[in-house]
Structure 1
Amino acid sequence: MVKVAVLGAAGGIGQPLSLLLKLNSNITELSLFDVVNVPGVGADLSHINSDASTKTFLPSSKEDKTALLGALKGADLVVIPAGVPRKPGMTRDDLFNINASIIKSLAEGIAESSPKAFVLVISNPVNSTVPIVAETLKQKGVYDPARLFGVTTLDIVRANTFIAQLHPGDSKPSDFNVNVVGGHSGETIVPLYSIGSSASFYNKLSEEQKKELIHRVQFGGDEVVQAKNGAGSATLSMAYAGYRLAESILKSFTSKEEVVENTYLNLDASIKGAAEAKKLVGGLEFFSLPVKLGKNGIEEVKYEILTKVSADEEKLLAVAKEQLAKNIEKGVAFGK
């Protein structure tokens, strides 16, 4: 019996994400919450002949908290795509003032109704919204850093796709699983192409191609915003990325094989390898790294990857750390 709650289920990310979750055989109950249009989304999904039951929760007013608490009650896993999407010219930081308040109120609901749930934060800016959730759960006395995940999987998905596009015929996106570390906006995104299966393909590129590839991964979201011409941001690819992390977490509950994914996490000393990782990233409290997943959440941080980066990647990491420090501070201050 696994209950998954989607907060923001009627939005551009929420709808395709809910569809993917409805098809997962490990999920028995899908709980959909939003402030608009969610009954229609739920009715639509409920016609699909997969085994997960579908329930929807729509507040009757801005002050109504019963819908959120009902959606979250007993949830094992909560995915949060709620918030305002990026528009042309907007950075993820521009979204902060709007989305920060939304995220804080949702985190308060989680603390009250499903304090032991795994929480996956998609809402941007992730670099700041994850610290907001952490601070809110701390205040409520229910915080477990091993159960809080910032979804940075889209950066990996893009990194895999974009390098394959530079080697048509020789590779395909599914050949790669590039580790992307740091954060989830602009220059805080650092793809480690020099490590693993991507290295030989990456090394064939000219210096200019390498720079263009890194920039494309870092600012891939802008491509989608511009292509949609003001009609939205990355929704379908983000829904897939969010689902991939959720699927891996669910798989880790029962898998005998090691399940590893990258996520933006709190480098709390209670998690194996987190203290070592924190030293390597200059004392930052939050950072995206590969982690081993298990039935209790994040079991181990695979920090060793940071000792294998190239000289060029070291330079990228230096920039990322500087920006991340500000993003984290902003989120923590708001959360407090």
Structure 2
Amino acid sequence: MFVVSRIASAASKRAFSTSAANLSKVAVLGAAGGIGQPLSLLMKQNPHVTELSLYDIVNTPGVAADISHINTKSVVKGFTAENEGLKAALEDAHVVIIPAGVPRKPGMTRDDLFNTNASIVRDLAEASAKYCPNAHFLIISNPVNSTVPIFAETLKKAGVFNPKRLYGVTTLDVVRASRFVAEIKNKDPKDVNCVVVGGHSGITIVPLLSQLGESFTKEEIDALTHRIQFGGDEVVQAKNGTGSATLSMAFAGARFASSVLDATVGGKKNVIEPSFVQSDLFKDQGVEYFSTNIELGKDGVEKIHGLGEISDYEKDLISKAVPELKKNISKGNSFVQ
């Protein structure tokens, strides 16, 4: 009895030691903003996180103090630009999540945010290249179709670009698709896994409804496609000038970040999520980045999934998305050059 108990105790210690070793530092840049605060709250609950490092130009110490009282194991630290705060926030980070930037207002497209957010993303990329070049970088800052290339080109200039570790977070499009389809089919959204490909704005968002195994009328396909492509506008209009989709984006961002941690830290297999990454799928048409389902592994992007069988309707959507994506990507690349 005593021997069994001692063996069990040793096994328990080994398990604790292994799980403790598999924890990591996560940095959120833009942590005091509309997306950053709820995203940080959700990441505080992730068991893989040892240290949650929050950075913004103002108010971060207060956000960090508030979140630090939540009774999970991770330590929370808040930084501003003073006293090399960005350096402290980034050093030794395993995952860096970037929702920094200005939100959309009524009448604005994601592309309208370009001039302001492009500079912010470039500056954060330069700091990331310097202080945590081997981290996994999750870009939420809009317009994602352009900010991901900006981040990539900045890392390339510093000689530290790893395409397996740079992700444009497009999970919100899949979250919305799941919810909207479930509403009209009277299903639990958890049971609806709708693949969404392309990019992360307007007509570049292409839901592959034909792969769901559901029957839709032409009117339903038109309405669903439009709502998934422009779902963000519903929130912007409903908030009447006070913000954009912050809470749902925080949920989607935390979901993707948790998947990255599950694969890279937890060793979980068959972790599949959508993401806007460097891809060869439409490279021959001048589109270097494209969002499809990707399989995550210990080192990041392990496999990029193709489109599979798609309908003529969806082929037409992609034919319209590709030129727009090419323009968005080129705009990001040119900004850095």
- TM-score, normalised with respect to structure 1: 0.91
The answer to whether the Cα contact below 8 Å between 2:146 and 2:331 also exists between their aligned partners in 1 is: yes
- Does residue 48 in structure 1 map to residue 70 in structure 2? yes
Partner residue, 2:14: none
- Does residue 27 in structure 1 map to residue 49 in structure 2? yes
Partner residue, 1:271: none
How many residues get paired? 314
- Does residue 298 in structure 1 map to residue 301 in structure 2? yes
Partner residue, 2:282: 278
Partner residue, 1:70: 88
Matches within 5 A, 1:99-114: 99-114=117-132
The answer to whether the Cα contact below 8 Å between 2:267 and 2:298 also exists between their aligned partners in 1 is: no
For structure 1, which segment, 246-255 or 141-150, has the greater mean C-alpha deviation from structure 2 after superposition? 246-255
In 1, Cα distance between the equivalents of 2:254 and 2:52? 13
Partner residue, 2:194: 178
In 2, Cα distance between the equivalents of 1:335 and 1:47? 40
Partner residue, 2:13: none
Partner residue, 2:40: 18
Partner residue, 2:233: 222
Runs of 4+ in 1 over 2 A off after TM superposition: 253-257
Provide the aligned C-alpha RMSD in A: 1.1
Partner residue, 2:79: 57
In 2, Cα distance between the equivalents of 1:44 and 1:152? 28
In 1, Cα distance between the equivalents of 2:268 and 2:91? 29
Which amino acid counterpart does residue 312 of structure 1 have in structure 2?
Y
Flag the structure with larger Rg.
2
In 1, Cα distance between the equivalents of 2:240 and 2:40? 25
Which amino acid counterpart does residue 289 of structure 1 have in structure 2?
T
Post-superposition shift, 1:256?
Answer: 4.5
Matches within 5 A, 1:192-207: 192-195=208-211, 198-200=212-214, 203=215, 205-207=216-218
Work out which of the residue numbers 230, 235, 243 in structure 1 matches 2:246: 235
In 2, Cα distance between the equivalents of 1:89 and 1:289? 28
Residue by residue, what CA displacement relative to the aligned partner does 1:192-246 show, whole Å, maximum 9, x if unpaired?
1111xx222xx2x221121011000000000000111111000000000001110
- Does residue 3 in structure 1 map to residue 25 in structure 2? yes
Which amino acid counterpart does residue 146 of structure 1 have in structure 2?
K
Which amino acid counterpart does residue 11 of structure 1 have in structure 2?
G
The answer to whether the Cα contact below 8 Å between 2:38 and 2:247 also exists between their aligned partners in 1 is: yes
Residue by residue, what CA displacement relative to the aligned partner does 1:37-96 show, whole Å, maximum 9, x if unpaired?
111100100111110000111113xxx7x1111100000000000000000000001000
The answer to whether the Cα contact below 8 Å between 2:125 and 2:151 also exists between their aligned partners in 1 is: yes
In 2, Cα distance between the equivalents of 1:120 and 1:137? 14
Matches within 5 A, 1:118-267: 118-168=136-186, 171-195=187-211, 198-200=212-214, 203=215, 205-253=216-264, 254-267=266-279
Q: Secondary structure at the match of 1:136?
A: helix
In 1, Cα distance between the equivalents of 2:139 and 2:188? 29
In 1, Cα distance between the equivalents of 2:226 and 2:201? 11
Q: Secondary structure at the match of 1:42?
A: helix
Post-superposition shift, 1:107?
Answer: 0.3
Post-superposition shift, 1:257?
Answer: 3.0
In 2, Cα distance between the equivalents of 1:40 and 1:106? 22
Q: Secondary structure at the match of 2:48?
A: coil
Which amino acid counterpart does residue 305 of structure 2 have in structure 1?
K
Post-superposition shift, 1:283?
Answer: 4.0
Which amino acid counterpart does residue 286 of structure 1 have in structure 2?
Y
Gap runs ≥5 in structure 2? 1-22
Which amino acid counterpart does residue 288 of structure 1 have in structure 2?
S
Which amino acid counterpart does residue 157 of structure 1 have in structure 2?
V
Return closer, same or farther for 1:28/1:256 CA change in 2, 3 Å cut-off: closer
Which amino acid counterpart does residue 162 of structure 1 have in structure 2?
F
Which amino acid counterpart does residue 290 of structure 1 have in structure 2?
N
In 2, Cα distance between the equivalents of 1:315 and 1:199? 20
In 2, Cα distance between the equivalents of 1:148 and 1:287? 12
Post-superposition shift, 1:172?
Answer: 1.2
Partner residue, 1:80: 98
Report sequence identity in percent.
Answer: 56
Q: Secondary structure at the match of 1:231?
A: coil
Which amino acid counterpart does residue 178 of structure 1 have in structure 2?
C
Post-superposition shift, 1:282?
Answer: 2.9
